[in-house]
A and B are shown apart, each in its own frame.
Chain A
C-alpha cells in the first residue's frame, strides 16, 4: 500500500487526513484519541499494531498549545502513520494510550515530565528524566534557559534565546 492509498483509505474514516512528504497524518479531537488508536490498531487492512513513538510539540501563544504526535507502525502492511491531537493551554490533559499500547508508558511519562501534559489513566505518572523536585517543564518553549554570570567586569551572558542571534 502506498502512502497515497493509505491516505485515501483513512479519509473514509477520518475527517482530517494529511499527506505530506510521503507521511500520512491523521488529526482527531482530544476525546477521540483512544478510539482512533484502537481503530488503527485493529483495522484488518491497516494493522497499526506497533506504537513506535509518542512525542509532542509546544506552540505557546497558539491554540491548541501542545500538539501530541503518536507515530504508528504497521509491520504487516509495511506502513507508517502519525496521529495528532491538539491540547488547549488551560487544560493540558489527554487519555493515556497505555491501555491500548503498553509501549506508551515511559514515553508518556517523559512528556508529562518535559511538557506538563497529564495523561488520564496512566498507571504510574511520575517524572522520569528530571529530578522529582524539579520545578517546571523544561522542554516547553517558555521554560527559562538560565544564562551564565561571569567574573569579567561582572558581565552576565544571557541565555541563547535572548542573545539576539
Chain B
C-alpha cells in the first residue's frame, strides 16, 4: 500500500536521470529508537522518508531479548511460571495462565472451580490495567498528558489489588500448575467491588476527554488503516483485528478456564484505524469490569489447588511476621509429624513434578491478542521446550503496512495503536 506516495516515487518505476531519480536521492533514512520516548520500550524503527512522507519502515527488535524460552528448559516445571510471567510484563497473569493451562493439559488435570474463577478475575483486572497503560502512554505520545496521569493513577489501584492478592505488583507467579499459589485474602471481594464500581465513571471521564477531542480525532481517525484481509494475512490478532471488524476472541471461540460461564460482548469496529482501536480497548475495559463482577457474584467455594500430593506444590502459604511464607502449622507438620510429608516436600521442591511426554498448544486472549504456549515435554522434570507465541511479536510486522505513505507524526500514533510490549516481543 503506498497511498499518498506519488507514482513516480514508487521504486519499480524510477528511471535513470529522471526527475523522480533526483527525488529519490533526497530520501532520508532516519533511525527512530531504540531509545525514543514514543517507541514503547526499546523498539527501533528504521524510517525511509521522502520529506514528511514514509516511503518505508522497518521495525528492528531484539534489544530486550532475555532468553526466557531457553531459561525454562533448565528449571523445573513449577519454576517455569516465574520466568514466563516476566515475558510480557504488562500482562503477567496471561503468561502464567497460558503456561499453566498448557502444562495442565499435558498432565491431564484441571484446576478446581474456585481457582479457575479467580484466574479469570485476575486476568480481567490485568486486562484493564494493561489497557490503562496503553491509554496512558498513547495519550502521552499524542499530547494528552492528563490522560497519562489518569491512566497510571487508575492502574496503580489495580496493582494495589494485585499486591493484596499475590504479594506483588508485577511478575506475580500467582497462577501455578494445578491452581493458585494461595486463596484470596478476606477483604478482597470488598476491595475489588469498591474499585469496580468506580471504574465505569472513570472510563466516561476518559471518553469525554478524548472521544470528541478535535486533536485526538485528528491524530487518530483515518490513521494507520489495516483492513481485515491484511490483518489476517499478517497474523494480527486482538484489538487490532477486532478494529477491522473481525469478532475474533479466544475467550469466546475456544473458552478456557470457564469463560463460557460469563456474559460479555466482543466489541468490534469496522473503521480499522487508530481511533477504532482506541474505541475497542475502552469498550473491552468496560466488558472486563462486567466479567469481574460476574466472577465475584458467582465465586465458588472450595480449594484453589488440586489435591494430588504428587502434583500440587507442597506449601501452604500464609502471611507471617516477615511476609509471605510457609504456614507455621504446615512447617510443624513436615518437621515433626510426618516423615513422608517431609520427603514429599523435599522431592517436590528440589525436583518438582514429572510431566508425561507430549506436546500441546494452548492459546489465551491476552490484552494484545492470541497468546499461545507451545509446550513440549520429554517426560522429564523440566520442560523440553516452551515456545511463546506472543501477540506483540506477531502484530508488529503489520506496522510497515499501516504507516507506509503516511506522515512521520503518524508513526507515533500507529506504533502506539499496535500496543507492542517489548518484553513480550523479544522474550
Residues of chain A at the chain B interface (Cβ within 8 Å): 20-23, 25, 49-53, 55, 57-58, 69, 71, 75, 78, 80, 82, 101-107, 110, 127-131, 138-139, 141, 145, 160-161, 165
B86, chain A: closest CB distance, angstroms: 16
Residue pair B370, A52 in contact (C-beta under 8 Å): yes
Residue of B nearest to A82 (CB): B361
Bound together, the chains give a CA A104 to CA B69 distance in angstroms of 19
B309, chain A: closest CB distance, angstroms: 22
A117, chain B: closest CB distance, angstroms: 14
Interface of B is mostly: mixed
Residue pair B393, A50 in contact (C-beta under 8 Å): no
A71, chain B: closest CB distance, angstroms: 5
Bound together, the chains give a CA A107 to CA B397 distance in angstroms of 10
Among B248, B350, B372, B393, the residue within 8 A (CB) of A71 is B372
| Chain B residues whose CB sits within 8 angstroms of the CB of A128 once the complex forms | 61-62
Interface residues of B in 343-382 (CB under 8 A from A): 350, 358-361, 363, 370, 372, 374, 376
Bound together, the chains give a CA A49 to CA B235 distance in angstroms of 10
Among B67, B360, B396, the residue within 8 A (CB) of A23 is B360
Given A57-B376, A71-B389, A80-B361: 8 more A-B contacts, CB < 8 Å: A21-B358, A25-B359, A49-B232, A57-B384, A102-B234, A106-B393, A127-B62, A129-B65
Residues of chain B at the chain A interface (Cβ within 8 Å): 61-62, 65, 67, 69-70, 73-74, 105-106, 108, 232-235, 246, 248, 253-254, 350, 358-361, 363, 370, 372, 374, 376, 384-385, 387, 389, 393-394, 396-397, 426-427
| Chain B residues whose CB sits within 8 angstroms of the CB of A101 once the complex forms | 233, 235
A84, chain B: closest CB distance, angstroms: 9
Residue pair A105, B361 in contact (C-beta under 8 Å): no
Residue pair A102, B372 in contact (C-beta under 8 Å): no
Residue pair A160, B74 in contact (C-beta under 8 Å): yes
Bound together, the chains give a CA A104 to CA B235 distance in angstroms of 8
Residue of B nearest to A25 (CB): B359
Bound together, the chains give a CA A53 to CA B360 distance in angstroms of 12
Residue pair B69, A139 in contact (C-beta under 8 Å): yes
Residue pair B69, A145 in contact (C-beta under 8 Å): no
A143, chain B: closest CB distance, angstroms: 8
A32, chain B: closest CB distance, angstroms: 20
Bound together, the chains give a CA A53 to CA B248 distance in angstroms of 17
Bound together, the chains give a CA A23 to CA B73 distance in angstroms of 23
Residue of A nearest to B397 (CB): A106
Residue pair B70, A138 in contact (C-beta under 8 Å): yes
Residue pair A55, B389 in contact (C-beta under 8 Å): yes
| Chain A residues whose CB sits within 8 angstroms of the CB of B350 once the complex forms | 165
Bound together, the chains give a CA A107 to CA B62 distance in angstroms of 13
Residue pair B374, A69 in contact (C-beta under 8 Å): yes
List 3 tightest A-B contacts by C-beta distance, closest first: A103-B235, A129-B62, A55-B387
Among B65, B246, B358, B374, the residue within 8 A (CB) of A53 is B374
Residue pair A50, B235 in contact (C-beta under 8 Å): yes
* Best-buried of B105, B374, B384, B396 by chain A (most CB within 10 Å): B374
Residue pair A52, B61 in contact (C-beta under 8 Å): no
| Chain A residues whose CB sits within 8 angstroms of the CB of B372 once the complex forms | 52-53, 71
| Chain A residues whose CB sits within 8 angstroms of the CB of B108 once the complex forms | 21
Residue pair A57, B385 in contact (C-beta under 8 Å): yes
Among A20, A21, A50, A127, the residue within 8 A (CB) of B232 is A50
Using known A-B contacts A75-B248, A78-B253, determine if residue A103 contacts B361 with beta carbons closer than 8 Å.
Answer: no
Bound together, the chains give a CA A161 to CA B427 distance in angstroms of 21
A99, chain B: closest CB distance, angstroms: 12
B244, chain A: closest CB distance, angstroms: 13
A27, chain B: closest CB distance, angstroms: 12
Residue pair A105, B397 in contact (C-beta under 8 Å): yes
| Chain A residues whose CB sits within 8 angstroms of the CB of B361 once the complex forms | 23, 52-53, 69, 71, 80, 82
Bound together, the chains give a CA A49 to CA B234 distance in angstroms of 11
A135, chain B: closest CB distance, angstroms: 16
B367, chain A: closest CB distance, angstroms: 17
Q: Can you sample 24 A-B contacts with CB below 8 Å?
A: A21-B358, A21-B360, A23-B359, A23-B360, A25-B359, A50-B232, A52-B370, A52-B389, A53-B387, A55-B389, A57-B359, A57-B376, A58-B385, A71-B372, A71-B374, A71-B389, A101-B235, A103-B394, A107-B235, A129-B65, A129-B427, A130-B62, A139-B69, A145-B74
Residue pair B233, A130 in contact (C-beta under 8 Å): no
| Chain A residues whose CB sits within 8 angstroms of the CB of B394 once the complex forms | 103, 106-107
Residue of B nearest to A49 (CB): B232
Bound together, the chains give a CA A145 to CA B71 distance in angstroms of 10
Residue pair B62, A55 in contact (C-beta under 8 Å): no
Bound together, the chains give a CA A57 to CA B374 distance in angstroms of 10
Among A106, A110, A138, the residue within 8 A (CB) of B67 is A138
| Chain A residues whose CB sits within 8 angstroms of the CB of B358 once the complex forms | 20-21
Using known A-B contacts A129-B65, A130-B65, determine if residue A53 contacts B234 with beta carbons closer than 8 Å.
Answer: no
Bound together, the chains give a CA A20 to CA B105 distance in angstroms of 10
Bound together, the chains give a CA A52 to CA B364 distance in angstroms of 12
| Chain A residues whose CB sits within 8 angstroms of the CB of B426 once the complex forms | 129
| Chain A residues whose CB sits within 8 angstroms of the CB of B61 once the complex forms | 128-129
Among B234, B248, B360, the residue within 8 A (CB) of A103 is B234
Among B65, B69, B106, B387, the residue within 8 A (CB) of A21 is B106
| Chain A residues whose CB sits within 8 angstroms of the CB of B106 once the complex forms | 21
| Chain A residues whose CB sits within 8 angstroms of the CB of B363 once the complex forms | 52, 80
